[in-house]
Amino acid sequence: MAKMLDAVGIPCGHEKIFSLAINTNLILCDDSAYLAESSWLAVPFLNSVLLEDTPIIHIVRDPLDVISSYLSNKIYLIKKSPYWIYQAAFEPWMYDEKVTALEMACAHYWYWNDRIESYKDRTYFFHRIEDDAEEFLNNLGHSVIDDKVSPGYNHVKDIAHRVTWEEIMNCQMQDEQLKERLIEMTKRYGYDACDKYNFANVTP
């Protein structure tokens, strides 16, 4: 996202304003070089009066890709790592030893996107990473310039193991209703979700 906005003349940092220091404290950098910021770390602070007039760009990706990426990136799963501690401050279920890594990844996807959606009454733009970037940029009042916005800026990287809906549905979760919430959100975002699994017949 940062590269794409940069390419059309909107200087955008990636975790430059909202970033984590080694001690896991959130660092807010007042840098006039940037007009936009791409950082999931900003989500808990969208209710700040400092950001109340700031447009929100909500970028989503197929939940199976996000969940798979989350599980393959150990930075989010190693307990007491900076990102783990930051997440746990807003996702208290991470301290529950009974919560599996898969449930944690599913909860992370649902929780953060749900929080962003709660600000849809503000200036809000929604974009699926798999969709055409040109239409999205037009909605922002910009257009593709000299093909600078290449498919690479809107590309989903390959994942060694892609989690399946069957794995999710057969995962024993502390919050079983999470599965239903995740499927509802997935369909609302326009992605394929499982219809063949009956919640009453999920393998425990």
If you average pLDDT over residues 36-60, what whole number do you get?
Answer: 89
pLDDT at 77: 73
113 pLDDT band (50/70/90 cuts)?
very high
- Residue 203's pLDDT is 41
Pairing of strands 18-20, 26-28: antiparallel
pTM above 0.85, yes or no: no
Is residue 18 a contact partner of residue 41, using CB atoms and an 8 Å limit?
yes
Residues 6+ apart with CB under 8 A from 193: 165, 183, 186, 187
pLDDT on residue 14 = 85
Three-state SS at 36: strand
> What average pLDDT does the chain have?
81
Q: What angle do CA 124, 117, 42 make, to 5 degrees?
A: 80
pLDDT attached to residue 149: 53
Among residues 77, 73, 74, 83, which one has the least CA distance to residue 15?
Answer: 83
For residue 150, give the DSSP letter. Answer: -
Which band of pLDDT confidence, cut at 50, 70 and 90, is reported for residue 48? confident
Element (H, E) at 180: helix 177-188
pLDDT at 184: 94
Residue entry with tokens 């916005």: 149
Token pair listed for 110? 């649902």
User: With pLDDT > 90 as the criterion, what percentage of the chain qualifies?
Assistant: 33
Nearest of 21, 43, 42, 103 to residue 70 by alpha carbon: 103
Virtual torsion, Cα 168, 174, 177, 183, nearest 10 deg: -20
Asked if pLDDT for residue 53 goes beyond 70, the answer is yes
Tell me what pLDDT residue 26 has. 54
The whole-number average pLDDT for the span 62-67 is: 93
The candidate with the shortest Cα–Cα distance to 51, out of 31, 33, 37, is: 37
In DSSP terms, 13 is beta-bridged to: 37
3-class DSSP state for residue 20? strand
Inform me whether the pLDDT recorded for 61 exceeds 60: yes
Q: Which long-range contacts (CB under 8 A, 24 or more apart) does 196-202 make?
A: 197/165, 197/166, 197/169, 202/169, 202/170, 202/176
- For the stretch 1-23, pLDDT in tens is 788 888 888 888 888 778 775 44
Q: Can you give the pLDDT at residue 204?
A: 37
